[in-house]
Amino acid sequence: MSARAAPDRQDPMRIQVSRTGGFAGIARRHEVDTGGRADAAEWQALAEEALRSARDTPPTGVPDGFRYAITVGDRTVYCADPDLTGAQRTLISRVLKEGA
């Protein structure tokens, strides 16, 4: 657990994922609002896990690799393929798939 206080699990949480770069260079941006979702607690736990040990500045990444910015509440962290944690990978794919 980070030094930062854990968000209150009852509060709605906005989770944004922005993906740039990649071979095609096509950006995608999606977000999930956990408010009113039955699986809100699960999303919040995943988001907290994804933020843990993440960087506050964008990594260099690799040629053609995707770059990601993950924003949870008021904090934005950065990561890049292929060096993602399992939680980051899961969160990114779920937000980009389910986000509106």
Partner 1 sequence: MHLRTDGDLHPVFCTIVPPHVLDHLSRSADARLADPARRTLAADGLRRDRRRATALAAVPTTPGVGAVPTKPHRTLYDCGNGTTLPGRKVRDEGDKPTSDASVNRAYAGLGATFELLLSAYGRSSIDGKGLPLIGSVHYGEEYNNAFFDGEQMVFGDGDGEIFLDFTVAVDVIAHELAHGLTQHTANLRYEGQSGALNESVSDVFGSLVKQYSLGQSAEQADWLIGAGLLAPRVSGDALRSMKAPGTAYDDDVLGKDPQPGSMADYIETEEDNGGVHLNSGIPNRAFHLLATALGGNSWERAGQIWFDVLTGGELTANADFAQFARLTVAAAGDRFGAADEREAVLKAWSEVGVPTKA
Q: Which residues bind partner 1 (CB under 8 A)?
A: 20-27, 60-67, 81-82, 84, 89, 93
| Closer CB to partner 1, 25 or 36, in the complex | 25
- Min dist. Cβ of residue 20 to partner 1 (A): 4
| Closer CB to partner 1, 34 or 61, in the complex | 61
- Quote the CA–CA distance of 45 and 31 in Å, as a whole number: 16
Burial class of residue 49 (count of CB atoms within 10 Å of its CB; 0-12, 13-18, 19+) = middle
- Sign of the Cα pseudo-torsion (35, 39, 45, 48, in order): negative
- Min dist. Cβ of residue 25 to partner 1 (A): 3
- Min dist. Cβ of residue 5 to partner 1 (A): 30
Q: In what order do the strands lie in the sheet with 66-72?
A: 28-33, 14-21, 66-72, 75-80
DSSP state at residue 67: E
| Closer CB to partner 1, 20 or 73, in the complex | 20
| Closer CB to partner 1, 21 or 72, in the complex | 21
